Amino acid sequence: MPSDTDMPVHIAVHSRCDLCENIMIEEEKCIVLIGNLESTAFSVGVPVPAYHALSMDGNAYVVVGRWKLCNLMSCRRCDDPPDAVTFHLDCLKLFMRNCTGRDALDKLWLAVIWRKALAGVEVEPLRLPTSPTSLSSAFAFVAGNCNLPQIKKLPQEVRDTIQELSEPHPLLRYMVVLESAWRLSTSSSEPLGSLPLRQVSSWTRGSSTELVGEATVPMPIIRCTIDSIGLRKIERLAARPRFEETRYDNMVFIVEHEDRFRDAVVQFKNGIARLNVPESGKDLQIWDTPTPPDLFRHRIKFDQPPRRFSTIDMGAITGLTFVMFYNNLVAIHPHTKAAVSAVSSVDRISDWYPRDAFVWVYVPLPRGETLLGFGPLVRKHRDGSWVPADGHCFLLRLLLAGDVIVGRRQPAGLESFLLNKGQPAIRTLLHDTSYSFHPIVTSYPFSYLSGPANTGAVSWSSPLMTDDWDEYPPMTDDLVECPLKRWHRSYANLENVSRVHVSQEPERGYCRGLLFEYENGAQRAVGQCRLHVDPVGTFEKPKTISFSRTEQDGLAKIRVHFSESHDQGGGWAVRLMAGMLGFYFDEPGGLTWISVSQPSPTRPDTELE
């Protein structure tokens, strides 16, 4: 019988290259570099002929020699060191050809492991983007080397959009690997050092450490800044900063009282640093703003810390995409000029599930639109309080577009939507962006918790009493006798429509969603509108809507067409642009159903009705 020493050692690996950040696919050669027990140096490399990636549920591993390279979603045997990094073999070769400094492999391994910034507590990869400034030299080199001189003349905003919509792309991988190689070529080689965090007054990457002196004025608040390289700065503040609407896409922050960092140690090596935080610091919060609200003071609690949060400036976005997995909300993507597509948010949720496994619910927020309320679907608890209903369903109250429902239809019962009484227009939305594939559990206006005015929150929370809330029953589904039992539903007025965009499935052209623009400036989306992902057909000032049902692989699918005339070929139901349209679907790629209330047929009904 084999002894424990004969058993393969579990090494936690994942499905992304730690150099280029792209998902590895089967047939791609890769290599795993394993570190020592202290996670301070590279120890051994394990080449893998082809990455045995990634079954859809994450249950994948491969044994190479004495190592069991484990990609299980949750494996206790992988919890302990040694740490490991995974690279495309091509990426590693490119790095080694361009990194001219000594100990290039050791520096690379340490840089990848320490860019997580926190050790001792479970933290998911932050995957922060490299700043355009840092990539500018690599961008210019790659553009010239690949005979693309004109792309260098584009404005940075256009280049950022191209990069977002082109991922993954070999040129982008080339740029990111080159930036790492050039940066580490000039990095210093320093021995390992450490200091208790309580002794550190300030530290900035590339500078010396300032220590806390005996006569120093008490500065009990510690703020840590983290970027794509890792820990960037440690500073002390006299008091917790007031919440302000300043946020970053390429940096995150931890702002806590020093007591929350009890027994934490700062480790230094090669000019970089990381925090080793004991188990007592597991409830740290990571934010995209240097001035976050104090959620603990507002009684919001978490059971899977540390959590990562983002703030959304409602005045700086053009819409929100709510990403659902079955009945759970797992991400919210704010659409901005720098992030026109929700792809980046969807891809961060899970490496095991493709984009089509998720439901994308788009809520447009054009110029002039205002979010007046944001509330959950809840049910009565036996003590009289409200608790989240089974599954996630939300009501958004908009100034121009009216009420919008996000989430799957719930069984009939004692459910209601709750909106905070006297809630002012929401200027900032707070939400959980921990990419752990754990759902965002519920949503409550933050002002109920004595938080900043004009702020909404999407997070874990306690049961709510009813005194501070207005109750709204769910909208009844009287537009259609839909054959789907628990469907996602959305509605749109067909009158005063100036333009319609039809999102289509790429392969067959079936309708996936509709985006209506109205004469008063409002916009409303039904179904799934996956911006800059699916092909789109646009119709100006339509007079009629035509739709037909077909089947693909036993599933009902819908084709939709808009026209300025009443004419349409056989097999289509034609309706004037009047009344209400209901759009229903179950899960991604499943059944789709459409209905129009109070129809005004221009030809006999088809079998669709």
Residues 6+ apart with CB under 8 A from 312: 320, 332, 334, 428, 429, 430, 431
Closest to 265 (Cα-Cα) out of 216, 203, 215, 214:
203
| Residue 420 in this model has a pLDDT that exceeds 80 | no
Sheet of 67-70: strand order equals 9-12, 67-70, 61-64
pLDDT of residue 572: 85
Domain map (residue ranges) of the chain? 4-104, 193-292, 309-472, 488-596
| Residue 487 in this model has a pLDDT that exceeds 90 | no
Contacts 24+ apart (CB under 8 A), 542-546: 542/497, 542/500, 542/577, 543/576, 543/577, 544/568, 544/574, 544/575, 544/576, 544/577, 544/602, 545/494, 545/574, 545/575, 545/577, 545/581, 545/596, 546/572, 546/573, 546/574, 546/575
**pLDDT range class, residue 378, cuts 50, 70, 90:** confident
Q: Are 358 and 333 in contact (CB under 8 A)?
A: no
Of the chain, the percentage scoring pLDDT greater than 70 comes to 78
**pLDDT range class, residue 459, cuts 50, 70, 90:** very low
Of residues 385 and 454, more confidently modeled: 385
pLDDT of residue 448: 31
pLDDT of residue 104: 92
Which helix (H) or strand (E) segment holds residue 448: the answer is none
pLDDT of residue 220: 93
| Residue 436 in this model has a pLDDT that exceeds 80 | no
pLDDT of residue 132: 73
| Range 390-400 burial, b when 16+ CB lie within 10 A, else e | ebbbbbbbbeb
**Averaged pLDDT for residues 362-378:** 90
Closest to 329 (Cα-Cα) out of 486, 437, 440:
440
Of residues 554 and 525, more confidently modeled: 525
Q: Among the ranges 38-47, 152-161, 375-384, 464-473, which has the highest mean pLDDT value?
A: 38-47
pLDDT tens digits, one per residue of 176-215? 999 999 999 998 888 999 999 999 999 999 888 998 876 5
pLDDT of residue 233: 97
| Residue 475 in this model has a pLDDT that exceeds 70 | no
Of residues 430 and 35, more confidently modeled: 35
| Residue 54 in this model has a pLDDT that exceeds 70 | no
CA distance linking residue 602 with residue 596, whole number of Å: 14
Token pair of 431 as six digits: 């939400």
**Averaged pLDDT for residues 414-418:** 74
- Tell me the average pLDDT of the chain: 80
pLDDT of residue 422: 62
Q: Which of 231-235, 541-545, 582-586 has the lowest mean pLDDT?
A: 582-586
Q: Which of 400-409, 511-520, 537-546 has the lowest mean pLDDT?
A: 400-409
Angle between helices 89-98 and 104-114 (to 10 degrees): 120
| Residue 217 in this model has a pLDDT that exceeds 60 | yes
| Residue 600 in this model has a pLDDT that exceeds 50 | no
Q: Are 562 and 542 in contact (CB under 8 A)?
A: yes
pLDDT of residue 108: 95
**Averaged pLDDT for residues 69-73:** 74
CA distance linking residue 424 with residue 457, whole number of Å: 14
| Residue 237 in this model has a pLDDT that exceeds 50 | yes
**pLDDT range class, residue 77, cuts 50, 70, 90:** confident
pLDDT of residue 484: 57
**pLDDT range class, residue 14, cuts 50, 70, 90:** confident
CA distance linking residue 510 with residue 505, whole number of Å: 5
Of residues 565 and 23, more confidently modeled: 23
Instruction: Give strand ranges (E) for 460-543.
Output: 469-472, 488-493, 497-504, 511-518, 523-527, 536-540
CA distance linking residue 599 with residue 24, whole number of Å: 51
- Tokens 């702020």, residue located: 455
CA distance linking residue 395 with residue 374, whole number of Å: 6
Of residues 601 and 93, more confidently modeled: 93
Of residues 126 and 340, more confidently modeled: 340
CB-CB neighbours of 367 under 10 Å: 6
Regarding beta strands 9-12 and 67-70, do their DSSP bridges make them parallel or antiparallel, or are they unpaired?
A: parallel
pLDDT of residue 478: 53
**Averaged pLDDT for residues 231-244:** 93
3-state secondary structure of 593: strand
pLDDT of residue 558: 86
pLDDT of residue 481: 54
Tell me the CATH architecture of domain 488-596. Answer: Aligned Prism (2.100)
pLDDT of residue 468: 60
Q: Is 47 exposed, middle or buried (0-12, 13-18, 19+ CB in 10 A)?
A: exposed
| Residue 73 in this model has a pLDDT that exceeds 70 | no
**pLDDT range class, residue 556, cuts 50, 70, 90:** confident
pLDDT of residue 287: 93
Of residues 368 and 41, more confidently modeled: 368
Q: Are 541 and 525 in contact (CB under 8 A)?
A: no
Q: What is the DSSP string of 21-76?
A: -PBP-TT--EEEEEE-TTSSSEEEEEEESS-----TTS--EEEETTEEEE--SS-G
**Averaged pLDDT for residues 413-428:** 73
Three-point CA angle 420, 430, 336, nearest 5°: 120
pLDDT of residue 411: 60
| Residue 409 in this model has a pLDDT that exceeds 50 | yes
pLDDT tens digits, one per residue of 243-281? 888 888 889 999 999 988 888 999 999 999 999 988 766
pLDDT of residue 64: 80
